[in-house]
């Protein structure tokens, strides 16, 4: 999408250095991001296939008004095919723009855990993991050891509605 503004009440802008994803859990069934790619195919020439957009990495540097920025509303930053170096570049931009607050939400808590020790988590990140059932809830408890100031769980029940925002 060319517009960065959003109707999501808990954020001001979206920033999508990657788009596209693969479904990994029941909560992906009615993926909002996938639906948008189908509704606006001209905006997403690769459809819902995971795509890196390095040309978008510096966008937040040009946004001078302090904002809450939802990172990857159209993807999942911790998808297995997003290289560690690319995630580090995203974090570098976040470090460089302390006047913004970044909201990162992932369903890939296992990869997040695997990479945690290799990432320098910025202070201006709210990091969220989607939780769909008790088993997942228990598996993310160990994230308390991730060195990030703001960590939250998103409890999802999305079987019959568009949902996800990952
Ligand atoms: S809900 Fe999130 S993890 Fe699932 S397919 Fe959509 S973007 Fe990917």
Segments of the chain with pLDDT less than 50? 1-2, 138, 141-142, 144-145, 158-163
CA of 26 to the centre of ligand 1 (A): 10
- Going by alpha carbons, the residue nearest to atom 8 of ligand 1 is 21
Cα distances from 113 to residues 80, 104, 140, 141, in angstroms, run 12, 14, 9, 11
| 75 within 8 A of 21, measured Cβ to Cβ | yes
> Is the CB of 163 inside a 6 Å radius of any atom of ligand 1?
no
What's the pTM value of the predicted model, to 2 decimals?
Answer: 0.84
Strand partners, 19: 51
Q: What is the pLDDT of residue 141?
A: 47
Residue 13's nearest CA partner among 21, 3, 23 is: 3
Q: What is the pLDDT of residue 149?
A: 52
- Going by alpha carbons, the residue nearest to atom 5 of ligand 1 is 23
Q: What is the pLDDT of residue 40?
A: 95
| 140 within 8 A of 129, measured Cβ to Cβ | yes
- Going by alpha carbons, the residue nearest to atom 6 of ligand 1 is 31
Q: What is the pLDDT of residue 130?
A: 75
Residue given tokens 């006047």 in the structure block: 99
Residues 6+ apart with CB under 8 A from 32: 162, 163, 164, 165
Q: What is the pLDDT of residue 26?
A: 84
Q: What is the pLDDT of residues 61-75, one digit of tens each?
A: 999 999 999 999 999
What is the residue-wise DSSP string for 65-80?
Answer: S--EEEETTTB-TT-T
Q: What is the pLDDT of residue 160?
A: 42
Residue 2's nearest CA partner among 52, 46, 63, 44 is: 44
Residues 6+ apart with CB under 8 A from 43: 1, 2, 37
């Amino acid at each position: 999408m060319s517009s960065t503004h959003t109707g999501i009440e808990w954020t001001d802008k979206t920033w999508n250095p990657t788009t596209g994803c693969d479904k990994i859990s029941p909560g992906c069934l009615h993926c909002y991001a996938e639906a948008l790619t189908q509704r606006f195919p001209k905006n997403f020439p690769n459809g819902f296939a995971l795509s890196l957009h390095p040309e978008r990495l510096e966008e937040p540097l040009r946004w001078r008004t302090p904002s809450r920025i939802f990172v990857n509303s159209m993807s999942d930053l911790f998808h297995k095919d997003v290289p560690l170096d690319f995630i580090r570049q995203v974090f570098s931009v976040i470090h460089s723009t302390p006047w913004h607050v970044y909201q990162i939400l992932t369903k890939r808590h296992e990869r997040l855990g695997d990479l945690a020790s290799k990432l320098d988590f910025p202070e201006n990140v709210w990091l969220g993991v989607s939780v769909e059932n008790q088993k997942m809830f228990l598996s993310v408890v160990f994230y308390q050891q991730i060195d990030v100031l703001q960590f939250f769980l998103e409890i999802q029940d999305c079987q019959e509605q568009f949902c996800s925002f990952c």
